[in-house]
């Protein structure tokens, strides 16, 4: 089965319902670090502290506790700075920023980023997360820890690593949980149906193209 078939469009109305349910469950982690919005394509909005959704645009910022939502044919760039880097939320997606903090110590500040991808997908590029830091992306079916490199996460459990390193855990509703350490190159992907495999060239090019595209900055 062609893994590319698993990345299908979702309806805006369904995503909206998911986001409302997320907000109802959310316990905000406090103001924390401001995360700049560096690019927006199409329509995007966010909710803060269980409040109403507000249009989101370049030059704004989000923080822990916020829910970000994209419409059809839309995308949002969030800049988490070094080392977590760029996170691009693609169309028809709902992302909760559960935790974004940096521990202030006499040495280096340990960064802790916990994102919850309720629906849709995101792509990103991390420059290398130190051992004392954590960069995690949770989905309804598992948890992904990004160490470095270029990657794509889908809320249904699909994961693509073009280069770098990541640790993933897939927890199906039935059956045994699966845990894998992914390293690339060569590009690899995980599918709940097919398991862990080398990524087809077409899939690798697709993720690379998603990351290289430039979003409007104003």
Mention the CATH class of domain 3-212.
mainly beta
Cα(117)–Cα(199) distance, rounded to whole angstroms?
A: 22
Per residue of the chain (218 residues), what is the pLDDT tens digit?
A: 333 323 333 333 333 333 333 333 333 334 468 999 999 999 999 999 889 999 999 999 999 999 999 999 999 999 998 888 999 999 999 999 999 987 654 345 578 999 999 999 999 999 888 777 899 999 999 999 999 999 999 999 999 999 999 999 999 888 788 999 999 999 999 999 999 999 999 999 999 999 999 999 87
Is residue 138 within 8 Å of residue 167, measured between CB atoms? no
Tokens of 186: 């060569």
Q: How many CB atoms lie within 10 A of CB 36?
A: 15
Cα(98)–Cα(169) distance, rounded to whole angstroms?
A: 19
Which sequence spans correspond to the domains of the chain?
3-212
Is residue 83 within 8 Å of residue 126, measured between CB atoms? yes
Tokens of 17: 């319902």
Nearest by Cα to 77 from 22, 39, 126, 125: 39
Note the pTM of the prediction, 2 decimals: 0.80
């Amino acid at each position: 089965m062609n893994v590319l078939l698993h990345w299908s469009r979702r309806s805006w109305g369904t995503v909206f319902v998911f986001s409302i349910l997320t907000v109802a469950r959310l316990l905000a982690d406090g103001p924390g670090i401001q995360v700049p919005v560096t690019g927006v394509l199409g329509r995007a909005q966010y909710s803060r502290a269980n409040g109403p959704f507000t249009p989101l645009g370049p030059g704004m910022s989000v923080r822990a506790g916020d829910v970000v939502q994209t419409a059809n044919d839309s995308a949002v760039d969030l800049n988490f700075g070094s080392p977590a880097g760029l996170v691009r939320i693609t169309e028809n997606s709902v992302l909760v920023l559960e935790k974004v903090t940096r521990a202030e110590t006499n040495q280096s500040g340990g960064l802790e980023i916990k994102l919850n991808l309720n629906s849709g997908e995101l792509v990103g590029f991390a420059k290398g997360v130190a051992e004392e830091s954590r960069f995690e992306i949770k989905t309804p079916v598992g948890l992904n820890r990004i160490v470095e490199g270029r990657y794509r996460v889908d809320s249904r459990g699909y994961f693509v690593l073009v280069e770098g390193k990541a640790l993933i855990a897939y927890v199906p509703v039935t059956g045994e949980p699966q845990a894998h350490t992914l390293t690339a190159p060569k590009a690899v992907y995980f599918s709940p149906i097919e398991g862990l495999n080398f990524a087809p060239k077409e899939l690798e090019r697709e993720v690379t193209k998603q990351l290289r595209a430039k979003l409007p900055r104003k």
